[in-house]
Chains A and B, each alone.
Chain A
Amino acid sequence: MSIGREQVEKVAKLAAIAVDDAELEPLVAQLSRIVDYVEQLNEVSTPEGTEGFHPGPETLPLREDVVRRFVPGNPLDAMAPEFEGGLFLVPVRGTMAEE
């Protein structure tokens, strides 16, 4: 297997996704399977300098510096889980568990 338990845990932390113990084992197997599969790209010889490929326009369009106020179809407090005094609220950051 190309990916171990520890690596999945590390990546899950980076992605801020809780993974419980029951999920972990199958995830390790599935991610390994996927990573093993995509590693067949190593057999392709690729020229350098083409990694910027994008099918869209070649240059960034720029817009004029003009202010336009957005009038929401629905108020912010209707969609926010916690909103008070015009502010989005979240629990304090707090100390992190051991990294």
Chain B
Amino acid sequence: MTWETVIGLEVHMQLRTESKMFCACSTAFGDPPNTNVCPVCLGLPGALPATNARAIELATRAALALGCTVHERSVFARKNYFYPDLPKGYQISQFDRPLATDGALEFDSADRGRVSVHIQRLHVEEDAGKSLHERYPGRTAVDLNRAGVPLAEIVSGPDMRSPAEARAYLTVLRQILLYTGASDCSMEQGSLRVDANLSIRRAGDKQLGVKTEVKNMNSFANVERALEAERERQVVLLESGGPVRQVTLLFDAGSGAVRPTRSKEESHDYRYFPDPDLPPLVLEAEWIRRQRASLPEMPEVKRRRLEEEVGLSAYHANVVASEPPLAMYFEAVVGSGVDPRVAANWVTGDVMTAYNETGGFPVRAKRLAALIGLERDGVVSLQAAKRVFAELTREDADPRELAEALGLLQVRDEDALGGWVDEVIAAFPAEAARFRGGEAKLLGFFVGQVMKRSGGKADPKAIQPLIEARLG
């Protein structure tokens, strides 16, 4: 029997602000517990929320980048429930009047080709604090530094059909969010969190099966693993005749299994109602239009442009477009007038290696452009250029001066080159005889030996005719 998997995702992203959603406390990660707190985010008697403009702007930009309609009027509502890390006993969120609705996100599915997922809504809310369960025996310890940090929740339709599609959706979503600058999207620091809903049904069925919610995944790979485990669990349940119950499950990365949450499900009745402390959020159409106009080129558009107009290979276009900083760097290098394909080679090679190690760009774009120019003009060899690049990561300097100081400028002087050629021919008499006998492919061997003897400084294009002249 074949089962169809149906997946919808709820993604919470932390909006990249300095201060919290409704108070002026810092959103800094990793500060000592309960140091970034104030009457508002502690839920003290008498405190009132004051809304962060930047959070609204970032959420709007993310929504527009996802093709959503951003509403000129939206409403903050109170979501009521008790939890030790929820200071007010309610979370300020948005309910029936969210900031934005009805967007779409496309990705390539291995099974179904190009897939479009409906973005049902994007709304703004505040985060809860953090409960630490292992610090003190028998006690839950509460740190409220996170309480009130601004979040946007992005809810997809039940439009994915496999765990791999869920992962592909997340990968594209993350790229878009990074491009807008709305979020750091770091799962490690909790600035991106994913909850997944999964159900299965017989292939061809129209009605959805009973869905479960899977939480606690700390990477996209683990989202895929967790959903595979949950799909398997549901298949086993249904094939053995048992029903799937609507439960919340936690993923255990160690065992790769999903387990129902230990505490009994409470009957949820959140009693949403408009927050009487906060008038409706009203955004002018003109302001929304300006936000849309000032969005950067989105990754998919950029990827296509790099491939089709700039002429990069599909692989290079993909890698360059994947991370906004990388793409910006690439465009800065190309802007100095060098061949984009050569620049892409550098950016996806040595530059990306350095970027992945340091998270930054140790060689300034115009220095790299100059270096690429030196190599193109034959002033330095590719090999030498790589040494100059390595040196530039340690010290910012003019590449030509650096190459000169390092003695890496190519030697094209025929006397010097001729001397090295003669030495090589003398050192390899047998190979010289074979070359004379017509074994032309040995030319490369001789060029290599001359390069070696020159310490990489010889210009290979100049060596070739000299060897051919002497052994011809």
Given contacts A56-B279, A86-B32, A92-B140, contact A65 B17 (CB under 8 A): yes
- A91 engages B138 (CB within 8 Å): yes
Contact, CB under 8 Å: A58 / B280: yes
Residues of A within 8 A of B (CB): 14, 16, 52, 54, 56-70, 76, 82, 84-96, 99
Chain B residue numbers with a CB within 8 Å of A52 are 75, 274, 280
**What A residues does B50 contact at CB under 8 A?**
61, 63
A9 to chain B, nearest CB (A): 12
User: Among residues 115 to 174 in chain B, which have CB atoms less than 8 Å away from a CB atom of chain A?
Assistant: 132-133, 135-136, 138-144
A6 to chain B, nearest CB (A): 13
Q: Whose C-beta in chain B lies nearest to the C-beta of A13?
A: B267
Q: By the criterion CB–CB under 8 Å, are A65 and B75 in contact?
A: no
- Chain A residues with Cβ below 8 Å from B271 are 14
Stretch at the interface among B52-60, B384-392, B439-447: B52-60
A interface, by DSSP: helix, strand, loop or mixed? loop
Do residues A69 and B143 form an inter-chain contact, with CB atoms below 8 A?
A: no
Residue numbers in A under 8 Å from B280 (CB-CB): 52, 58-60
What are 18 of the A-B contact pairs (CB < 8 Å)? A52-B274, A52-B280, A59-B279, A59-B282, A60-B282, A63-B50, A67-B25, A68-B25, A70-B24, A76-B34, A76-B42, A87-B136, A87-B142, A88-B141, A91-B140, A93-B84, A95-B264, A96-B264
Residue in contact with B136 in the complex, picked from A16, A89, A95, CB distance below 8 Å: A89
Chain B residues within an 8 Å CB radius of A61: 50-51, 279
CB distance from B110 to the nearest CB of A (A): 41
Give the nearest-CB partner of B129 in chain A: A88
Residues in chain B near residue A66, CB distance under 8 A: 18-19, 24
CB of B428 within 8 Å of the partner chain: no
> A67 touching B140 by the CB < 8 A rule?
no
**How many residues in B have their beta carbons less than 8 Å from beta carbons of A?**
52
Asked if A95 contacts B142 (CB within 8 A), the reply is no
* Pairwise interchain contact A70-B52, C-beta atoms closer than 8 A: no
In contact, A88 and B142 (Cβ under 8 angstroms): yes
Q: Are A70 and B37 in contact (CB under 8 A)?
A: yes
Interface assignment of B276: CB less than 8 Å from any CB of chain A: yes
Contact A76 B37 (CB under 8 A): yes
Among A54, A89, A95: residue with most chain B CB under 10 A: A89
> How far, in angstroms, from A92 to B138 measured CA to CA in the complex?
6
**A96 and B142 in contact, given A85-B33, A86-B34 (Cβ under 8 angstroms):** no
Assess A87 versus B135: contact at CB under 8 Å? Given A67-B24, A76-B34, A93-B263.
yes
CA distance A89 to B132 in the complex (A): 9
Indicate whether B35 reaches chain A with its CB closer than 8 angstroms: yes
Please determine whether B37 and A87 come into contact, CB atoms closer than 8 angstroms.
Answer: no
236-286 of chain B: CB within 8 A of chain A? 262-267, 269, 271, 274, 276, 278-282
- CA–CA, A60 and B32, complex, Å: 33
The smallest beta-carbon distance between B95 and chain A, in angstroms, is 13
Q: Is B3 located at the chain interface by the 8 A CB criterion?
A: no
Determine how close the nearest CB of chain A comes to the CB of B81; give it in whole angstroms: 9
Task: Answer whether residue B26 sits at the interface, using C-beta atoms and an 8 A cutoff.
Answer: yes
What separation, in Å, do the CA atoms of A67 and B144 have in the docked complex? 16
Is the CB of B38 closer than 8 A to any CB of chain A? yes
A92 contacts which chain B residues (CB < 8 A)? 133, 138-140
10 pairs of A and B residues whose beta carbons are closest in the complex: A70-B38, A65-B54, A62-B53, A87-B141, A68-B24, A59-B282, A86-B33, A88-B142, A89-B139, A60-B281
